[in-house]
């Protein structure tokens, strides 16, 4: 039982998490703040970008892996996963560059993330009904 499509997406999101964690760590060292944040908007945005990834990535990756294991066609898993991962990258980029405020990449990222989760949920339900009637 291997899940190569999900594994690639997990690797990309893992790398994104390392980048975001590095940004947060830099701010924590700069302000000598091991817990919480300061009034620095860039610090706050970095913390939220990292936290938001941690909030969404596990569920998305688990859903993708289950779909892949259950035999959902790999092309559907791939494109759904691509929407989800690109959404997470765009959200992080928009959050950082928009300093926590409105940013087109952040909004597009949110939309792609939600579309990805909705699509994989529908695919999982479709797969279960196909297999078990």
Residues lower than pLDDT 70 in the chain? none
H helix intervals, 70-103:
74-97
4-132, what's its fold?
1.20.120
pTM of the predicted structure, to 2 decimals:
0.95
Q: How far is CA 61 from CA 11, 31, 126, in A?
A: 10, 33, 18
First to last CA, the chain: 24
Q: For residue range 24-62, list pLDDT tens digits in order.
A: 999 999 999 999 999 999 999 999 999 999 999 999 999
97 C-beta neighbours (distance < 10 Å), count: 15
């Amino acid at each position: 039982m291997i899940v190569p499509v999900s594994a690639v997406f997990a690797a990309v999101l893992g790398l994104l998490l390392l980048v975001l964690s590095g940004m947060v760590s830099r701010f924590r060292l700069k302000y000598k703040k091991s817990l919480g944040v300061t009034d620095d908007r860039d610090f706050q945005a970095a913390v939220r970008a990292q936290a938001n990834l941690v909030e969404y990535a596990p569920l998305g990756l688990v859903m993708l892996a289950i779909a892949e294991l259950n035999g959902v066609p790999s092309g559907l898993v791939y494109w759904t996963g691509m929407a989800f991962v690109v959404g997470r990258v765009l959200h992080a980029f928009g959050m950082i560059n928009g300093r926590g405020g409105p940013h087109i990449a952040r909004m597009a990222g949110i939309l792609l993330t939600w579309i990805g989760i909705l699509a994989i949920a529908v695919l999982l339900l479709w797969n279960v009904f196909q297999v078990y009637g």
